[in-house]
Amino acid sequence: MPIQLLRPLACATLTLHLGLLSACASDHADTPPSAASDTPQEPPRQVAVATPNTTPASPVQSSAPQLGFAEWRDQLRREALAAGIDARLFDRAFAGISPDPRVIAADRSQPEFTRPVWEYLDSAVSPSRISRGRTMLAQHGTTLTAIQQRFGVDREVLVAIWGMESAFGQNIGSYNVIRSLATLAYEGRRQAFWREQLLAALKILQHGDISPERLIGSWAGAMGQTQFIPTTYNQHAVDFDGDGRRDVWNSASDALASAAHYLGNSGWRPGQPWGFEVRLPQGFDYALADPEERRSLAQWRALGVQPVKAPNVAEEASATLLLPAGHRGPAFLVLNNFRSILRYNNSTAYALAVGLLSDALKTGRSQLQASWPRDDRQLSRSERIELQERLARLGFDPGAPDGIIGANTRKAIRGFQQLLGWPADGHPTAELLARLRTQP
């Protein structure tokens, strides 16, 4: 889901940043958020690609509401009317609205266990999704050609996002968006942010794109077949089918064109791939797998990094090295368009899934060559917190012990790995935690 919201989306910490877009509604809509940094996320939270077991979120919660909901709503009404919202429209949108306890439960819970990246990709780039996506490519070929000509974004990428976000329009969520956003603005975390989203949703209604009764989405207010949050919708939604309404709920044309418009404004480069799989030489310095380490393709080649398949990209193109499962798993060079996908959803797993799915839509099957380290045990959230605490005690700086494996934590892990003489890939493992536990 596009986000402009919580993130500064590819954010360094990969989790509660404003500016993201949406959640993967097709697999995870309406589920509680996860704290893992490399799984997809919804506006200010990550989608739960996890087991149902949840633990309370970190103590940084909102304080209890100082006003009753009715008084709070009346204050909001005055603010909305001052911003140009019609009074009758506001009253219609809020008719019968009360806080939704399911939304607060989702906002305040985080799963203890998350699925490893390969299990997420097994689902995201499954044979059935590839097959369905190719059918959608053929069925909407004329529209996709027109969208690609106008916005420059590859049709396969758009269909991959469509499949990831809503199962090609089949699952757009069932929550009343006004109720969800009102609940979060009233008593959720980041109340100011959600208030902004709520006012933006009222502007959508004021514009006449959809009626209050049909304004549905995920529990966090991500909307439509491409799961836009309201502020992103207001900036990037497009009426591509020409019916006078930007209808990302019911019009595949509008939804796909809106996603293309967002990606285009996020720096998408026509004709350039998102990235490609590579092989690394013996003795490679895995510490170079850092988002801040940008080198040209020619420079990576000089270090012995070799594409599995010759890419259609200039040698001077800037790329970073991605090791989503550490040095034992597949390696990728990712380019500018990968970063544009991250702006849609600030999760490396999500962006990788979109990239691999878009490639598979061209050929009919996944073509990943390297194997995933499926015998690796994933750390639980409490173990990730412990790992961060122990790294901090040793003088490394992983940031707040929140269980989120973001840029700071990976840097701290690399520092400890280098101290041990291990491959410094910044990847958290059970073996690494065990070694930390032996330190005084």
Q: According to the model, what pLDDT value does residue 60 have? A: 41
Tens digits of per-residue pLDDT, 80-136?
Answer: 999 999 999 999 999 999 999 999 999 988 788 889 999 999 999 999 999 999 999
Q: Is 438 exposed, middle or buried (0-12, 13-18, 19+ CB in 10 A)?
A: exposed
Alpha-carbon dihedral sign for residues 56, 22, 135, 250? positive
Could you tell me if residue 423 is inside a domain? Answer: yes
Token output for 255:
């939804």
Q: According to the model, what pLDDT value does residue 440 have? A: 86
Could you tell me if residue 419 is inside a domain? Answer: yes
Could you tell me if residue 374 is inside a domain? Answer: no
Q: According to the model, what pLDDT value does residue 18 have? A: 29
Could you tell me if residue 392 is inside a domain? Answer: yes
What phi and psi, each to the nearest 5 degrees, are found at residue 334? -115, 140
Q: According to the model, what pLDDT value does residue 255 have? A: 98
Q: What is the tally of structural domains in the chain?
A: 1
pTM score > 0.75 for this model? yes
What gap in Å lies between CA 291 and CA 309, rounded to an integer? 23
Could you tell me if residue 102 is inside a domain? Answer: no
Token output for 351:
């962006």
Could you tell me if residue 413 is inside a domain? Answer: yes
Collect the ranges in the chain with pLDDT lower than 70: 1-64
Q: Does residue 357 contact residue 160 with C-beta atoms inside 8 Å?
A: yes
Residue 54's DSSP bridge partners are 111
Q: Where are the alpha helices (DSSP H) in 210-251?
A: 230-236
The DSSP H or E segment spanning 302 is helix 297-302
Q: Where are the alpha helices (DSSP H) in 83-190?
A: 87-93, 101-107, 117-124, 127-139, 141-151, 155-166, 177-187
Q: According to the model, what pLDDT value does residue 64 have? A: 63
Residue 332's DSSP bridge partners are 277, 322
Q: Does residue 229 contact residue 43 with C-beta atoms inside 8 Å?
A: yes
Query: Could you give the angle at the alpha carbon of 391 between the alpha carbons of 385 and 393, nearest 5°?
Result: 105
Token output for 119:
């299990």
63: DSSP letter:
P
Rg (CA), the chain: 22
Domain that holds residue 429: 381-437
CATH number of the domain within which 387 lies: 1.10.101
Could you tell me if residue 398 is inside a domain? Answer: yes
What phi and psi, each to the nearest 5 degrees, are found at residue 331? -120, 145
Residue 34 CA to chain centroid, in angstroms?
Answer: 12
Q: Does residue 245 contact residue 210 with C-beta atoms inside 8 Å?
A: yes
Could you tell me if residue 118 is inside a domain? Answer: no
Question: Which residues, in sequence order, are CB contacts of 202 under 8 Å at separation 6+?
Answer: 80, 85, 89, 90, 93, 178
